[in-house]
Copies of this chain bind each other. A is one copy, B any other.
Amino acid sequence: MDAATDACCEPSGQPTIDTYEAQLRASVFKALADPNRLRLLSIVKGSEGGEACVCDLTEPLSLGQPTVSHHLKILVDAGLLHREKRGTWAYYSLVPGAIERTTGLLESL
């Protein structure tokens, strides 16, 4: 055993994220890892009353309605958007505190 190998591998000084926590956090960032989904969040956030229905969202994204519904479902499953059905329409809005909770996932790495 020479000095070269010893110089490399030292024990870490701080606790790190375990595998399970990493999977949980990655699933949220996976929902954010698509430009169209980021635009969806942005448009919903900027809409009147803080909510928007699917018909508001298909045109600015230049995407088909099934694709937009698919992206919205991913954002809902990630806990970022809230879905409320009123009559024929489905209104999507930001989950309160979701953005702050997500930034916490980064700062506490």
Interface residues of chain A, those whose CB is within 8 Å of chain B, are: 4, 8-17, 19, 22-23, 25-26, 29-30, 32-39, 41-43, 45-48, 52-53, 55-56, 60, 88-89, 99, 102-103, 106-107, 109
Contact A33 B39 (CB under 8 A): no
Q: Please tell me how many copies of the chain the complex holds.
A: 2
Contact of A12 among B32, B38, B43 (CB under 8 A): B43
Interchain nearest-CB distance for A16 vs B (Å): 4
Contacts A8-B89, A43-B12, A109-B42 hold; do A26 and B34 have CB atoms under 8 A apart? yes
Contact A32 B35 (CB under 8 A): no
Question: What chain B residues lie within 8 Å of A36 (beta carbons)?
Answer: 22
Contact of A42 among B17, B45, B56 (CB under 8 A): B17
Contacts A8-B89, A29-B33 hold; do A43 and B16 have CB atoms under 8 A apart? yes
